[in-house]
Amino acid sequence: MARLTEENVRLAREIIGRYPKPRSATIPLLHLAQEQDGHITNDAMAHIGELVGATSAEVYGTASFYEMFKFEPVGKYLINICGTMSCALMGGEELMHHAESRLGIHMGGTTSDGLFTLEKAECQAACTEAPCLQVNYRYRYRVTSENFDTLIDQLQAGELNSEIPAHGTVASVRQHIPADRGVGAVAPEDVTEGPAWLDGKAAL
């Protein structure tokens, strides 16, 4: 089980520095941990607690609220197939059956090579493009069984690496705020002036 790496601790401290209160960085740091390990480990949660000054239980309480934080290892590609009404009417059910037989796992399972995890998802807000699915939260629309097979083949061959990074990667470009560009962290109760972006203009 993994705590945050040295490089990620450095990043974590930078992220914490963006907030007036260290605790506010809890969720960004959870993303960082998930990016590091593909899922969130107990050690990572304990480490985040140390970094932001919370107990492990508080970090766990926050993390477990969110569906997209995973606490068990998931595949490199997390495939969420929509099971809500429009998709179900347009063949979502059949797509799920096909996915299960193609990958040899049940919904919720992970292939033995650690490449794929299948999940049934609630509405993904792409009803006009039903049935739809997401691979690591990247959309695929009007998915037929053949489309699905092609997708799996491409993923296995690594052809989509540039488009679909491994599970946990929030973005391929990381936000970086140079020290001289930040407005600095000020606790809400200490704010006396208008927002910095107003640049001296009166608030509306």
Partner 1 sequence: MTTIDTNTEAAEMPERDPNAVSITINGRTVEAQKGDLIIAAADAADEFIPRFCYHPRMSPVGMCRQCLVEVEGPRGPMMVVSCMTPVAEGQIVRTDTPQVKRAQEGMIELLLANHPLDCPVCDKGGECPLQDQAFSHGAGESRFVEEKRHYEKPIAISELVFLDRERCILCDRCTRFADEVAGDPLISFTQRGNNTQVMTFPDEPFASYFSGNVVQICPVGALTAQPYRFKARPWDLEQRESTCTTCSVGCRTVVQSSRDELLRYQGVDSDPVNWGWLCDRGRFNFQSVNSEDRLESPQVKSGDSFETTSWSAALDTISRTIRHATPGSVAILGGARGTNEDAFMWAQLADAMGVTMRDAQLDDGLPASIFNYSQATIDAACKAATVILLAPDLKEELPVLHIRLRDAAEKKKIRIIEISACETGLTKHAWRSVRAESGTSVTAVQQLMADPVVAAQIASGSVVVVAGRANLAEGAEHTMAAVDAVIAAVPTASVLPALRRGNVRGALTLGLAPQNGNDAVSILEASANGHVECLILLGADPMNDVADADLARRGIAGARFVVAIDTFLTQSAAHADIVLPASAYGEKDGTTMNLEGRVTNVVQKITPRGTSRADWMIAAELGFLLGHDTDVTTLADVQKLMAKKVAGFGTTTTAVAVKRDGVVVSIPTPTRTAFAAPTIAARNSYEFRVDVSRKLYDRAVGTITSPALVNLAPGASVTIHPLDLERVGAAEGANVRVSNNHSSIVLPVRSNEKVPRGTAVVPFNQPGADIRELVRHGDSVVDVRIESM
- Options 29, 60, 78, 79; binder of partner 1; rule CB under 8 A: 60
User: Is residue 42 a contact residue for partner 1 (CB under 8 A)?
Assistant: yes
Print the binding letters for residues 65-84 with partner 1: x by CB under 8 A, - otherwise. Answer: xxx-----------------
Closest CA to 117 of 70, 67, 157: 70
Site for partner 1 in 162-201 (CB under 8 A): none
Q: Does 56 bind partner 1 (CB under 8 A)?
A: yes
64 is an interface residue for partner 1 by CB under 8 A: yes
Q: Does 55 bind partner 1 (CB under 8 A)?
A: yes
Contacts of 155 (CB under 8 A, 6+ apart): 77, 115, 116, 135, 164
Rounded-to-integer distance, Cα 202 and Cα 197, Å: 11
- Determine if 45 is a binding residue for partner 1 (CB under 8 A): yes
Q: How far is CA 157 from the centre of its chain?
A: 23
Query: Does residue 73 contact residue 110 with C-beta atoms inside 8 Å?
Result: yes
Residues that bind partner 1 (CB under 8 A): 42, 45-46, 54-61, 64-67
